[in-house]
Amino acid sequence: MSHRLIKSALKPFLLLVALVSFSVTAVSFAQQANADSSDKPQYSAVYKEAKKHLGTSYVYGATGPTHFDCSGFTKYVYKKSIGKAIPRTAQAQYRGTKKVSKSHVKKGDLVYFGSSTFGISHVGMYIGNGKMIDSQNRGVVTEKVYAPWWHVVGFSRPATLSYD
């Protein structure tokens, strides 16, 4: 067989090998992208757990599930819904989680209230549209973040959540 004949017979085979390799690589990248997004905990799980406790009574120092204080509620919701442990008190939750700016706040982030970032006295979970779910003297409720009785001092992200 001549060198030219071998070369011309080899071209379609090499093209087929290249196409198969490209297809396998593309499928692998697509699977990895899907795995990356599904590896993130879902906001819907966190929100669903929080909503289950609407109306639960407030008791100072309580960590649930029959009574909550503000930080006991956020701690319980994150642990129960996605297995994420966060510190016990509102001040410690602020110190121990990643800070985010008001312009980058997302559903599931925590919002803190008080006199300053050194004097945090309350925490709630942001649920979108300027609202939060929190435990306060009326129990676990949904309310506006920017209300006359609250002074927002910061936001944090206890976990990176997926919003699918």
Cβ atoms 103, 140 nearer than 8 A: no
Catalytic residue among 67, 122, 151, 164: 122
* Set 53, 67, 69, 134: catalytic member: 134
In angstroms, the CA 39 to CA 47 distance is 18
Known catalytic residue: 70? yes
Residue 36 annotated among the catalytic residues of the structure: no
Write phi, then psi, for 32 (nearest 5 degrees).
Answer: -65, -40
Residues forming beta bridges with residue 143, ordered by sequence position: 132
Tokens representing residue 136 in the block:
């306060």
- Is 69 labeled as catalytic in the residue annotation? no
- In sequence order, the 6+-apart residues with CB closer than 8 A to the CB of 148 are none
Q: Which of 70, 104, 109, 164 is catalytic?
A: 70
Query: Which residues participate in catalysis according to the annotation?
Result: 70, 122, 134
